[in-house]
Structure 1
């Protein structure tokens, strides 16, 4: 290898963000293997790559012994002292054994190592970038579908939307632009594996943070989120400024803000409720859109008994219990709903 070759390596290393010394150390390690493979040697060798000239030197390393058992690994004290009188037993003598035609092999080996290191470095950079974005939203383009999994092109990397993370009934077509939520980034031998979701509650939370400036600025706070993906979700919000209505901020003018999110989630209905430090008031809000007459709470067992007008009972419970179930998940309370007439007949 010549000096120009070395400069090209250094420039490439800088462009890819790799320390040149790391590349050269890797080349030296690879050249040791190349030497042993091509010259059938079991010798203990060291390879030195001159950083400025590109010259390569291979040295056999031998231990100084009284009596030589293996000439490939050992050298007698007498022979060592014929080279340098200062050698003692157990010292290591280095003898140059660079083959005449080693340059061609070295150049090819170096090229392979550099390519490999660049790939590793690029994968490392992509891994760092996306691992720092766990719990964040990314936008990508649907590339292909394989065994119910959707592969999404994120530009520098590819993400996997597993069937378990897909919204039931949602269709994914090649070329579709899609927002997903990064749930995990794994480091693999083939590069980073990015796992994304369309069903995670965090997706809804991040969509509101992106769409509602008051949330982004910290004026309005998201206290809790729960979803039944593709069907309905509930989000509880609280304002740190009494002059700002948290629900109104999330809904937006003529419902435009929440509608943008509903469209992104392909029609998933979203109930935005006002969080309250008072459990009874919070539970009443969580059962929206149903109207609640009274809420009786048991703080110790976290059980609440809710009374609603007769005509609101089915709305409060929801289809197949969905509204009550989501309200319970949102608040963390067990909710028992009764109508007025049920309460009266029980007394």
Structure 2
């Protein structure tokens, strides 16, 4: 160790933002381990690293004890022997003797280098983690570095993001060197460093793209209330304006559809339905089933379910191909939606079968309970009493 090493160490500390005291403490611990490994185990050894010159010295330590308590010559020294070294020694004092091996310098230099390299890796990992944890749920630009059937690796600058099969847009082709926008789903800390999970299929990607493209959303005038997405195929997005003068759908679509077109192009021609949000569940559900027309909506607040009636010729449009339109509407509104055509509705209403299914289930539950002869009323009463007692304790 020498001044050159210390100069290099100081430069690393300043450039990488590493705590010098912590780094040197780590080096001392590593040197102690190296000494024990190369020169035998010794519980009473200390390694001292000079923070100015870089010199390293190894000391053995022994505690001064009374003759009657003397037990281990490696760890202890009798008071009379200690006073031969220095008459000022008292019981409990620690005597240090330098035992630095002649060839310990080479081992020390190698060990210190390993510690510094390891700490640099850890510092770099921490810097990258702190940088990307702030970008979680945000949009970032990257370049595809590798693409396999299961995983796409995206170069984000300091680190590669990982896009798994589920996070890819169905049918989208990824090529090495391609520039791409991705959504940061999660930033994980692992033993091998930070792991960045990115996505092209996440609904958050659509939200962030609209925030970039629509100033009214960025300014908070237009709010995105919810998004339902089947990546690569179709997205439904509910928007609301806090300013009555601003049309939220018009703001998102843009003049001649230019704003939404930019987003559709970015997503590979994915269809985007922008609908107006409403606090009225019936109205919101009706809008969510766009482009289908809706005749009426009956809502069940308790079950959060809705019966929707549409014109006969609009039934297939309301349900959508493979049920997609109805499925996305249910996700968007977070309501269970049952769609019927007008003729189906009127027929079931006339026959009294419209709500028969639900009523039948309720009747069966009652009948099963009444027919269950195994029910012990005393056991029921005991259970109710115990339940009530537990509730009182919790309160």
1:25 maps to: 25
Looking at both structures, which has the greater relative contact order when contacts are Cα pairs under 8 Å and sequence separation is at least 6? 1
More helix by share: 2
Aligned to 1:35: 35
Paired residues in the alignment total: 347
| Correspondence for 1:150 among 149, 152, 169 | 152
Q: Which residue of 2 aligns with 1:163?
A: 165
**Counterpart contact for 1:13–1:118, Cα < 8 Å:** no
| Aligned mates of 1:83, 1:244 — CA distance in 2 | 91
TM-score, normalised to structure 2, is 0.83
Q: Counterpart of 1:196 in 2: which secondary structure? A: strand
Deviation digits for residues 24-51 of structure 1 (CA, Å, limit 9, x no counterpart): 1111111111222222342421111111
Partner residue, 2:133: 131
Aligned-partner Cα distance in 2 for 1:75–1:192: 51
Structure 1 length normalisation: TM-score?
0.94
Aligned match of 1:248:
250
- SS state at 1:161 partner: strand
1:121 shift after superposition: 0.4
CA distance in 2, matches of 1:140, 1:58: 51
The equivalent residue for 2:333 is: 331
Structure 1 residue 13 corresponds to structure 2 residue 4: no
C-alpha contact (below 8 Å) 1:219/1:240 kept by paired residues: yes
Structure 1: segments with no counterpart, 5+ residues:
none
Question: Deviation of residue 91 (structure 1)?
Answer: 3.8
Specify the alignment match of 1:260 in structure 2.
Answer: 262
- Deviation per CA, 1:8-35: give whole Å up to 9, x if none: 2111111011122222111111111122
Cα shift readout 1:198-234 (whole Å, capped 9, x = no counterpart): 2222122122112211111101111111111211111
Instruction: Write the deviation string for residues 57-86 of structure 1: whole angstroms up to 9, x where unpaired.
Output: 211122334465543333333322323334
For residues 21 and 2 of structure 1, what CA distance do their matches in structure 2 show? Answer: 18
Q: Provide structure 2 residue ranges, at least 5 long, that are not aligned to the other structure.
A: 351-395
Give the match for residue 72 of structure 1: 74
TM-superposed deviation, 1:255: 1.4
Q: 2:85 aligns with which of 83, 86, 90?
A: 83
**Structure of greater Rg:** 2
How far did residue 342 of structure 1 move? 2.4
CA drift at 1:144: 1.3
Q: Which residue of 2 aligns with 1:53?
A: 53
Name the residue aligned to 2:376.
Answer: none
Q: Does 1:223 align with 2:219?
A: no
SS of the equivalent of 1:335 reads: strand
Q: Deviations over 1:102-122 (max 9, x none)?
A: 223222222221111111101
